[in-house]
């Protein structure tokens, strides 16, 4: 039973790590895209608080 539990734990941790990497990629791509749009649109681009760099850093620290 212990070996089954250990194997299941490793598999779950691997899946979580993969999902976390995917999520970090999506967040990174979204912030880059938002930054690109800000560069094009300038002040006409509304602020999106959830894509603010400081907000993202605060959320990742918790």
Provide the pLDDT confidence category of residue 50 given band limits of 50, 70 and 90.
confident
Q: What's the mean per-residue pLDDT of the chain?
A: 86
Q: Whats the size of the chain, residue-wise?
A: 62
Contacts of 37 (CB under 8 A, 6+ apart): 45
DSSP letter assigned to residue 45: S
- Output the pLDDT for position 26: 92
Tell me the percentage of the chain whose pLDDT exceeds 90.
Answer: 47
Say how far residue 3 (Cα) sits from the centre of its chain. Answer: 32
Tell me the percentage of the chain whose pLDDT exceeds 70.
Answer: 82
* Spatial separation of the C-alpha atoms in residues 56 and 59, rounded to whole Å: 5
- Output the pLDDT for position 11: 97
Query: What is the average per-residue pLDDT within 20-48?
Result: 88
Q: What is the pTM of this model?
A: 0.63
């Amino acid at each position: 039973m212990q070996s089954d539990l250990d194997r299941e734990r490793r598999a779950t941790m691997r899946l979580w790590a993969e999902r976390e990497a995917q999520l970090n990629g999506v967040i990174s791509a979204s912030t880059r895209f938002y930054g690109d749009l800000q560069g094009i649109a300038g002040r006409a681009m509304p602020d999106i608080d959830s894509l603010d760099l400081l907000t993202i850093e605060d959320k990742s620290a918790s």
